[in-house]
Structures are given as C-alpha cells and as structure tokens.
Amino acid sequence: MRLILASGSPRRAEILQSAGLPFTVMSSAVDETPIPGESAQEMVKRLALAKAELVAARAVGPAIVIAADTVVVLDNTVFGKPRTTEDARHMLEKLSARTHAVITGVALIRLPDVERREFQETTHVQFGALDEEEIIRYLASGEPFDKAGAYAIQGRAGRYISRIEGCYYNVVGLPLSRLCVALADLGWTEDNS
C-alpha cells in the first residue's frame, strides 16, 4: 500500500522524506476561498478533505492519500499565503511580538475501501519583535511568499521565533507524529509500502 501526498508543498514532502516515509506526489489544487462564517478549524478540515478527495478520485490501486491545509490565526483573523509584498508586510507587522496559532487540518483516505481519518493540530508560536529593517530584509529574501502567515519557521524566520508550544512540524505544514498515528490506524506499515 503506497502513500500519496496530495500536495505540491516542498515543505510537506521534506517532512515525509526526513521521516523516511516513501511516497509519491499528486497535485491537488482546490479553491481555497473561505466560506463566510467558517472558522479557521472548519476551513482547514474542509480544504484538507477536498484535496484528499480530489487525488483519491484519480489514484489507482491500494494507497493512502494524505492531504493537509495550514493557516495562521491571530485575533480571530486567518492569515493564509500573502498575495503581495504589502500583504506579507502587513502580516509580519501584526505577528511581531505576539503569539499566534498555526492550525493544520489533515485528511487521509485509504483506497480502495475509502476509509477516512481526519484531524487538526494547533501549535502556538511566539514571534519576537520585528523592526522595520528586519521586515524589509526578510521580505527581500523572498521566503515569506507561498507560506501561511508569510514566514517559514524552518528558514530565516526561525531567528525571530522565541517559543513554540506544540508540534514543530505542524508549523512547517504537516504534524508528523499525529500523521504516523493515523497511518497506523489505517493499517499502514513500512513493511506494506
């Protein structure tokens, strides 16, 4: 039974690779527009499941499809991926010297029987104070783009993180420990990959 990562995220692929999990990648682009009144928790669960279902419909043979969606939440405001440099700057200014939540929804679908597992993970992240020059330098690095909340904890932004409470890999984009528990619950072992 093979593992299929329903994501083009290089960060999620790196997490699985570093854990020694064999997998293939299938793209899973879905409309990530929030639904009015939807909580961040509901949104990440909905999007993860939509991505998993999209790939499961195209997959052939025994497999477990893994999909995830991650957002950053501060003061009940969801920070997705920045669309522009100004959007990224605004996010970083808001995160500076504050604690925010990183929420990831994960959906797994085992094929061919379509057995599912879904969960969400929340990690709290404390940002140090960022001055204007630090924000400008960080924006110029290009790292804030294509990342929820406009930062990568595993990259240059790591120097600004003073504390985390919860799963580090969740902040990167895929809560590894809980994922492995869900895979085992679906009957996956390294011996049957």
Write the secondary structure of the chain as one string of H (helix), E (strand) and C (coil).
CEEEECCCCHHHHHHHHHCCCCCEECCCCCCCCCCCCCCHHHHHHHHHHHHHHHHHCCCCCCEEEEEEEEEEEECCEEECCCCCHHHHHHHHHHHCCCEEEEEEEEEEEEECCCEEEEEEEEEEEEECCCCHHHHHHHHHCCCCCCCHHHCCCCCHHHHHEEEEECCHHHHHCCCHHHHHHHHHHCCCCHHHC
CA 12 to chain centre: 7
CA distance from start to end of the chain: 5
Known catalytic residues are 69
Q: Residue 148 phi/psi, 5° resolution?
A: -60, 130
